[in-house]
A = this chain, B = another copy of it.
């Protein structure tokens, strides 16, 4: 079961400029910043609202830290903008197995590390109406996510 929009991932060339835009224009504050070496990005989570599953919805700003990262390739092709949409679930492994059984290609059959201690898996955008889609299981309560 998918219980929330966990975040909208936005590719940007300059993370600090992106953070400053969302702070000054809208008042959103940074909840967390980290580097994800595996994905080749520096990323910031900006909390927008709480959700009725006890978690929250964020904007995730993504800046590539190397030229061969997926986000660098996205920026080269499309420029800055929305990169992916992430839905939250209590159990990413079970959820992606079920979604895969419905014919959607799961790009990470074994979930991997996401922001703030979460576990994530991506789905193939061609099977999701052109939307690169991520499934997220937040870290346990007290671990930082939510």
Contacts and interface: CB of A to CB of B under 8 A. Distances in A.
Interface residues of A, number: 38
Interface in A79-118: 79-82, 85, 87, 99, 102-104
Given A48-B2, A57-B57, A99 B26 contact: yes
Contact of A8 (B2, B49, B53, B85): B85
Given A51-B50, A81-B131, A82-B82, A57 B25 contact: no
Q: Is the interface of A mostly helix, strand, loop or mixed?
A: mixed
Nearest to A100: B25
A125 interface: yes
Nearest to A13: B129
A28 B128 CA distance: 14
A11 B1 CA distance: 24
Interface of A: 1-5, 8, 10-12, 18, 21, 24-28, 48-53, 57, 79-82, 85, 87, 99, 102-104, 125, 128-131
26 contacts: A1-B27, A2-B26, A2-B27, A2-B28, A2-B48, A3-B49, A5-B8, A8-B85, A10-B129, A10-B130, A11-B130, A12-B129, A12-B130, A25-B99, A25-B102, A25-B103, A49-B52, A49-B57, A50-B52, A51-B52, A80-B130, A80-B131, A81-B125, A81-B129, A82-B130, A82-B131
